[in-house]
Amino acid sequence: MTQDTVHIGGRRSKLAVVQSEKVKEMIQDAFEQYSCKLTKTQTLGDQIQFKPLYSFGGKALWTKELEDLLYAPDMNLRLDVVVHSLKDMPTILPDGFELGGITKRVDPSDCLVMALNSIYKSLDDLPPGSVVGTSSVRRSAQLKRKYPNLIFESVRGNIHTRLDKVDDPESRYTCIILATAGLIRMNLDYRITQRFDSKIMYHAVGQGALGLEIRKGDLRMHRILEEICDLETTVCCLAERSLMRTLEGGCSVPIGVETQFNINTKTLTFKAIVINVEGTEWVEDSERRILVDFEKDAIECGMILANRMIENGAKKILDNINLNKIK
C-alpha cells in the first residue's frame, strides 16, 4: 500500500517534540495508510527567555511562525497540522485557520516542585519570605491570595532549565510552580511535591490538552483528527475557551478554571475565577448544566458563566489589569 504523508509541525522544545511525537503516533496507529513527518520550529516565545510572559505580547508568540507554515508556498515546507499546548492557543484564530481537534487531556492541574532534598512538602510548610518561582501571573495571583507571606518571582525557561534553577544550591528559589501535564509527558512526575486543586489554584484554560490547528476547511485533516481526538476533553476545553473569549482574557491575565464532564449523565460542571494581580480582589463562580448538543452547549455554558462573572465585577478586574499594562 502506498502511504500518504501527514506533515506535523511543533515547537523545538523537548516537551513540544514529545507532544508532536504523540500526535504522530496516534495518527499512524489509527491510519495504516498515513506516515507522518515532523517539523520543529522556533517561535518568538521560545527566543525571549529573559522576561516574564505577561510583560510582552500575547499567545501568538507561540503560534505565528507555525501558522505561517500551514500556508507555505513551498509544498516541501507546508504543514498539514500544528501541535500546540492548547493553553498557548489564542481563543480567536486568524482568518484561514481553525482548531481541528483536541486530544485527551493529561492532568490539567498545576503543581509544586520543591528543590531536590528539600525538607518542605507543601506551601504550608514554607517559612515567611520564601521565594516561589513562576512565570504565570495566574498562578502567582492565586497563590498571593492564599499565601501572602511568600514572595513570588518570575522564572523562565523550559522544564529542565527551571528544574536546574530551583535545584541550584545557590538558587534564590525555594520551589517552583509548573503544569503537572508537562512533567508527566517528560516522565518527570517523580519531581512533583504537591498537586493543586481549585481550593488552592484553578488551572489555565486548556491546560493539559493538545490543540491541533489546521487550515480552515481542510476536510482530509478533519477526517484524520476525528479519529484521534477526545470528546470529554473537547467539551471541557470548548467551554473554558468560550469563557476566556467572552472575558477577553489571554495568557497574561489571571483567569483560572476547573471543568468536569460526565459523559454518562451528559453533565458539565464548570468553576472559574478572575483575580487581580495582587490576589486581593476576585470573582469566583460556577455553572452546572446538562448538555444536549455537546459542543454548542459547552460553548454556551462558558458564555453564560463569563457573563455572570462580568456582572459580578470580573470585567472591572480585567480592565484594571489592562490599564496598568498600558501605564
Query: Grid coordinates standing for 130?
Result: 520564601
- How does DSSP classify residue 233? H
**Pick the catalytic residue: 24, 59, 105, 138?**
138
**Pick the catalytic residue: 11, 59, 162, 245?**
162
Spell out the residues 6+ positions from residue 227 whose beta carbon is closer than 8 angstroms to its own: 30, 31
CB 321 within 8 A of CB 277: yes
**Pick the catalytic residue: 251, 297, 301, 315?**
251
d(CA 168, CA 172): 9
**Pick the catalytic residue: 36, 59, 88, 301?**
88
Quick check: is 289 catalytic? no
Spell out the residues 6+ positions from residue 235 whose beta carbon is closer than 8 angstroms to its own: 261, 268, 291, 294, 295, 298
Query: Grid coordinates standing for 1?
Result: 500500500
**Pick the catalytic residue: 139, 185, 241, 245?**
139
Strand partners, 55: none
Quick check: is 59 catalytic? no
Quick check: is 139 catalytic? yes
Quick check: is 105 catalytic? no
**Pick the catalytic residue: 11, 24, 59, 87?**
87
Quick check: is 138 catalytic? yes
**Pick the catalytic residue: 14, 22, 64, 156?**
156
Quick check: is 111 catalytic? no
Spell out the residues 6+ positions from residue 163 whose beta carbon is closer than 8 angstroms to its own: 113, 176, 188, 191
Q: Which of 298, 292, 213 is nearest to 257 (CA)?
A: 298
Quick check: is 251 catalytic? yes
**Mind telling me the catalytic residues?**
87-88, 138-139, 156, 162, 251
